[in-house]
Amino acid sequence: MRLLVVEDDASIAEPLCAGLSREGFEVELAATGAAALAAAPADLVLLDLGLPDLDGRAVCRELRNRSGIPIIVVSARGDEIDRVMLLELGADDYVVKPFGFRELVARIRAVLRRAGAAAPDPDKPVEVGPLRIDPRTHQVSLGGRRIALTPKEFDLLAFLAADPGAVQTRDQIMSEVWDENWWGPTKTLDVHVASVRKKLGADWIETVRGVGFLLRDPAEPA
């Protein structure tokens, strides 16, 4: 599924696009209204209202005139008149900043379901070489051999496996696998990484010094 994210604030756009990619979506970013209108067709648009060149309402209206593509408006403007006006312009949903990422993903999936599209299945098993991770059953196997992981070890491995070969920062991992409000020591991350390495093999999770970690099939060339 392809999402078009229309957002000019890089501090919001970059982590948002990265998070949506980890959820299984193909993401294109447009930083202006003009870029949004010139972008290739997508399955859903996340549209920020405060754009530097065009009014977000005008962009919403033009996108709706062109097609029935689902549109979720993301804005700091939360008063009732904005919501009513945008729905009248053809927006399918409305999210007020600041918003929770998981809530946003749930809204995206709900809008896609209503539109008759198939969002990426979060319960679909992930395979990285001989490593298989099943989110539905929380089972992990390596070359057909069952690997017993604790719930948090499973969450850590599944998070890294969602984008194999990509470096995930320590902050990203702590926020996604533990909690965005986690105040405990980050040493717990190193303990869990060490435990998963012991069970899978030391070469599966690589340390990128000063940044974070990545998951890669050690049989594949670096």
Residue 170 exposed, middle or buried by CB count within 10 Å (0-12, 13-18, 19+): middle
pLDDT band of 75, cuts 50, 70, 90: confident
Q: Taking the CB of residue 163, how many other CB atoms lie within 10 A of it?
A: 15
- For the stretch 41-55, pLDDT in tens is 899 999 998 899 998
Greater model confidence, 53 or 99:
53
**Which pLDDT value is given to residue 22?**
87
User: What are the residue boundaries of the structural domains of the chain, listed by start?
Assistant: 2-114, 126-215
pLDDT tens for each residue of 136-187: 888 999 999 999 999 899 999 998 998 888 888 888 888 778 765 554 556 7
Could you tell me whether strands 44-48 and 71-75 are parallel, antiparallel, or unpaired per DSSP bridges?
parallel
What CATH class is the domain 2-114? Answer: alpha beta
Q: In the prediction, which pLDDT does 177 show?
A: 83
Instruction: Report the C-alpha gap between 147 and 101 in whole angstroms.
Output: 30
Q: What is the predicted pLDDT for the residue at 86?
A: 67
Q: How confident is the model at residue 79, as a pLDDT?
A: 60
> Which residue carries 């209503």 as its tokens?
114
Q: Which residue has the higher pLDDT, 165 or 29?
A: 29
Greatest mean pLDDT among 55-69, 71-85, 93-107, 145-159: 145-159
CB 75 within 8 A of CB 96: yes
CATH of domain 126-215: 1.10.10.10
pLDDT confidence of residue 185: 56
What's the confidence (pLDDT) of residue 39? 93
pLDDT at site 53: 93
Residue-level pLDDT at 199: 95
